[in-house]
Amino acid sequence: MDSKQREAKAKQIIAEAKNLEKQGKLVEAKEKYLEAEGTFSTKDGLNGIERVRHAEDHEVDSAIADAHRFYSSGKYAEASARLESAEGIEPENFVVHYDLALCYAKLNQRADAVQHLDLAGARIHDNKLRTAVLEFGVILSSGALAPSSPGPAKNQLVGFNQAFLDWDRTAEASGSDDPKPDPSKHADLCGQAAQVKDLAASNAAVSYDLAKCAEEDGRPEDALRLAGQYLSLAPQALDSSDVRDLQQAWTSLAAIPGDAGAQVRLHYANAARYLDYRRYDRALREYEAAEKAMPDFPQTQWRLGMLHEAFGNVPTAKEHFAKFRDLSSDDAEKAEAAHHLDSIEQWRAEYDSDVEDAQDMLSGLLLQAMGLSSEGQKHKTKFGKGQKKASKRYLKIMSADEAMSPPYVRSVLEHAQDELEEATSLMPLGPEANELLALIQFEGNNWTGAYHCFDAVASQGLPVSFYAQVNSERDSKIVRAAKLEVAKETIRIVYLSSYNAKKKVTGPPDKPAGEDDLGELVISPQHPPASDVESLTISLNDLKGVETEQNFVVLKLAKDKLYLAPVYMVAFAPAEGQASRRFGNEYTRLFVRYLGFENARLGKEGMTFGEKFHLTMKFAELGYEVFDAVNSGGVNSYNAFRVLRQVARQLNIDLNRLERSMTEQRRAVDGMQFKVIPTQTAQLEFRDKF
């Protein structure tokens, strides 16, 4: 359809949406308005989306107010019912999840309370409140009250908890060939936990964290003792089954005699530390070394099978599960291995289906956003007031993009993320799903989540990728849409189009950019990056510098400069100021982490004096917001449960069996995780907003 036909179609859909809106069917009306925006963006469509959003906000606010009254009068079931109705309207409203957690805690539904509290805690910015929420979550999870601690000990616990909050594993550069992970931050946490080891006899979380440190120090006997202490202090802990499984593994590990046993324990300790830093490739190598040291140790075959299953390497995973089944003498373990052997191909098929659906959605958005859907046709980008005052280079590069309806883009991204969360619930380290999830996390400015996803991709020897408009200093008249593939010691720029800013026309590259015209959006060991494409490869030695210049990432070569403007589909990236530098810096850091270029120059993230002076409410005109990267990335505990229910229905299998299998897989991928140590019994209050 041409633009007039699309506009007419959009008007027809808007009429249907208005009719649904009048009937009070807000969810259906919103979907129709979004469909109209995806066809042709109009003021009428945007206004309809805004009206529905305000109506939904009003319903949610009313539900929270009603729930608050019920909660205050001790009617916790009635309060939770009202909040559950609000959750159905706005499932990502974190105040609703926080308040639901309090209601479920009062109703002694601890598992439900912890799931909702985890989701809320990830988005709380206030450090004091977030610590209180995390402490309360540990108390609920363990089922044990926090014992009182003397003054000096309490200060040490507070210090541990602050170090826990500051522990940012994404800050660790992974380009180094150093065979050992940098233990500084891990050692700091374990060192602080050791300072309060005398409290282990009374504080369950202290015992748990010390057990984790003992595991990573290669002391399985100490880990066993401390884990037993944790279970004694918290017999009703929600993770008691997981801890008992760990005890069983540590018992087997400690019992291996001689030099072979010492070697296996060393490799397991190294693997546990590598998992902490998401260096899955190195953890895999440690388990492979343990297998060589003692081929007949069943636990190694199990862990190798789990990691390969998480990667999506079905044939290799099946080999290790079959070996585990043959080596194990326990009937329950044999049955568990048989379950994975029987199910893994079905899981892989569902994973592939989810990835394919998400790929279709994201491909359409990217092709349109970069102007590739109108090759050979003129298109003119409309700039807001803030953009019009920007540099000529900014205007030239951004004019290559096609403006898209932000509500429609967000809707498509949400649907794609739903598909990918289903995929990663089955195979959490699958490179295809993680590559696409990282792109979505970038669109939400969740840099931490994006790096978590990219770590899974890089661990399999694949480049991490993002899309950008590229402008060269030597040929500044042309803007080229490109896929940036960042690998260890090389950057490859795959050209997707060329845009003449003067003629406002986009043309195709000299060679097709892969089968999807995007340089292959999805890659894997079985489907590597496209080879016969128009591209530029830059080695680490050829790269003279990487730096942030406003929202651009600038690659300095011997005789040229390349200005990269990462594609941001939700809105225009900010042209200048603090927000633009923070935006550019995150992409610059990507080259540090995955290319190994350690001398990158970042832009100043704080506001300059002039920026502070000129900061006004008009800043919102940029249509851009930088969120704090507080999510852990991937599937959080609440969403994991929701997704598994959906997957269980689709695959027609038992939810409890699937949940146990996925819990085992997550444990193999994530290892033990530190717990915040409660300093007192937290008193959280019902909140109407954060």
The answer to whether residue 260 is domain-embedded is: no
CATH classification at residue 99:
1.25.40.10
Q: Give the three-state DSSP class for 349.
A: helix
DSSP codes, 404-442: --HHHHHHHHHHHHHHHHHHHHH-TT-HHHHHHHHHHHH
| Contact predicate 675/208, CB 8 Å | yes
To the nearest whole percent, how much of the chain has pLDDT over 90? 51
Higher pLDDT, 621 or 181: 181
Average pLDDT estimate for 69-95:
94
Task: Kindly state whether residue 259 falls inside one of the protein's structural domains.
Answer: no
Determine the 3-state secondary structure of 528 from DSSP: coil
- What pTM was estimated for this model as a whole? 0.86
Interhelix angle 298-311/655-670, nearest 10 degrees = 100
Domain contains 558: yes
- Kindly tell me if the per-residue pLDDT of 191 is higher than 50: yes
Q: What percent of the chain has a predicted confidence (pLDDT) above 70?
A: 87
Residues 59 and 25 sit within 8 Å (Cβ to Cβ): no
Q: Which of 141, 159, 193 is the last residue of a domain?
A: 141
Q: What is the pLDDT of residues 456-481, one digit of tens each?
A: 999 999 999 999 999 999 888 889 99
* Domain assignment present for 247: no
**In this structure, is residue 491 part of a structural domain?**
yes
pLDDT band at residue 562 under the 50/70/90 scheme:
very high
- Output the pLDDT for position 620: 30
Res. 271: pLDDT tops 60? yes
Give the chain's radius of gyration (CA, Å).
Answer: 26
DSSP string of 88-123, one letter each residue? HH-TT-HHHHHHHHHHHHHTT-HHHHHHHHHHHHTT
- Considering 563, 598, 622, which residue would you say is the last residue of a domain? 622
Task: Give the per-residue pLDDT at 378.
Answer: 65
Tell me whether residue 369 is in a domain. no
pLDDT tens column, 39-63 = 888 999 999 999 999 999 999 999 9
> Considering only CA atoms, which of 109, 104, 160 is closest in space to residue 135?
160
**Of 312-326, 522-536, 581-595, where does mean pLDDT reach its minimum?**
581-595
- The mean per-residue pLDDT over the stretch 250-277 comes to 93
Distance separating alpha carbons of residues 221 and 218, to the nearest angstrom: 9
Residue 397's domain is classified under what CATH number? 2.30.29.30
Q: Which of 603, 622, 641 is the last residue of a domain?
A: 622
The answer to whether the CB of 16 falls within 8 A of the CB of 8 is no
- Residue 290 in any domain: the answer is no
Q: For residues 59-75, give the mean pLDDT.
A: 96
Is the model's pLDDT at 656 over the cut of 80? no
Q: In terms of residue numbers, what domain contains 609? A: 378-405+426-622
Helix ranges restricted to H, 429-565: 431-443, 447-458
User: How far apart are alpha carbons 412 and 577 in whole angstroms?
Assistant: 29
Q: How many domains is the chain partitioned into structurally?
A: 2
pLDDT value at 177 more than 80: no
- What's residue 122's pLDDT? 72
Position with higher pLDDT, 580 vs 275 = 275
Task: Return the pLDDT at 384.
Answer: 65
Q: Is residue 674 part of a domain?
A: no
User: How far apart (Å, rounded) are the C-alpha atoms in residues 167 and 188?
Assistant: 9
Residue pLDDT, tens place only, 398-407? 777 777 888 9
